[in-house]
Amino acid sequence: MRILIAGGTGYLGTALRGRLERSGHEITTLTRHEPGPGQIRWAPGHSPLGVEVVENADVVINVTGSSLLGNPHSSAYARQLFQSRVDTTRTLADAIARSERRPALLAGNGTSWYGDHGDELVTETGDSRGDALLTRVTREWQAATEPAVDAGARVCILRTAPVFGRGSTVATVLGRLFKLGLGGRVASGRQYFPLVAIHDWVEAVAGLTTDDQTSGPVNLTIPEPTTNAEFTTTLARLLHRPAVLPVPAPAVRLAAGPMAPELLNSIRLRPEALLRSGFEFRHSTVEAVLRSCFGH
């Protein structure tokens, strides 16, 4: 298959590109910089993408997005969160809608779309709640795919949980904190915390490139939900470090500002679409995911 990837040089994109290339797919990546072999230059948010770019693809994958690390109190930070995700997705969806072949679109997104659901078990049919920063970002991110959906293309919304793997941002940051003995549950620790291993994320997305029967939202998270307290206890045990410094909710709100709901909200999420398609997770529990990062 011929696959076009936006965000192909980031952590997720690099792992996915390698997996697809090993399977014999022909990969082209989009870049904002001077293009090299196998690359095409684009300027999302500034100029439309030529129809011929997507006409040559069977599947278009967008995994672009600015880093979540930064100053959450900064308006520039929030603006970049929106633009790097929404503009890129809309540019691709518009090009697909104008094309005749209408390739499938696998559009990056996040589990923050759901907002706080407490202990309720949530699948892809769940609703979106609240107005937290990342919840609003993910809503606009998904809405940006509508031109492709309306044109009849197959569109999958990749509602991705924090991805854990060696070298991933979340694993690196949390690993350093816990190794310094600064790890601890957040607030009560009873809030559910979705996560997924890089291996399973890559395999699931690679499978979706050829799965013509699956479209719409797809939750990319472990099938056995875990709480923040369970996550904290497991990581501390694997790293042989104490985890006795709980972070009070008021401190989280003060430090993280508009990003605090990402730590305090509870999403007990199940990857129903993937399980229904027959996908088998290699790392289905929090312990398995964390061992894939920090095990010896």
Do the domain assignments include residue 240? no
pLDDT of residue 87: 97
- Phi, psi at residue 121, to the nearest 5°? -75, 125
Q: Please indicate, yes or no, if residue 274 is contained in any of the structural domains.
A: yes
Number of compact structural domains in the chain: 1
Task: Please report the pLDDT score of residue 182 as a whole number.
Answer: 83
| SS3 assignment, position 98 | helix
- As to burial, measured by CB atoms within 10 angstroms (0-12 exposed, 13-18 middle, 19+ buried), residue 137 is buried
Could you give the CA distance from residue 62 to residue 36 in angstroms, rounded to a whole number?
A: 19
What pLDDT shows up at residue 296?
Answer: 62
Q: 257 burial class (0-12, 13-18, 19+ CB within 10 angstroms)? A: middle
- CATH number for the domain spanning 61: value is 3.40.50.720
State how far the Cα of 156 lies from the Cα of 158, in Å rounded to an integer: 6
Which helix H or strand E contains 79, and what residues bound it? helix 75-98
Residue 189 in domain: no
**Does residue 170 form part of some domain?**
no
pLDDT tens per residue, the chain (296 residues)?
999 999 999 999 999 999 999 999 999 999 999 899 999 999 998 899 999 999 999 999 999 999 998 899 999 999 999 999 999 999 999 999 999 999 999 999 999 999 999 999 999 999 999 999 999 999 999 999 999 999 999 999 999 999 999 999 999 999 998 898 888 999 999 999 999 999 999 999 999 999 999 999 999 999 999 999 999 999 999 999 988 778 899 999 998 999 999 999 999 999 999 999 999 999 999 999 999 998 76
Q: Is residue 148 a part of any domain in this protein? A: yes
Decide: residue 109, CB within 10 A, 0-12 exposed, 13-18 middle, 19+ buried. Answer: buried
**Residue 278's domain spans which residues?**
2-164+196-223+268-282
For residue 52, is it within any domain?
A: yes
Domain membership of residue 55 (yes or no) is yes
Q: Does residue 294 lie in a domain region?
A: no
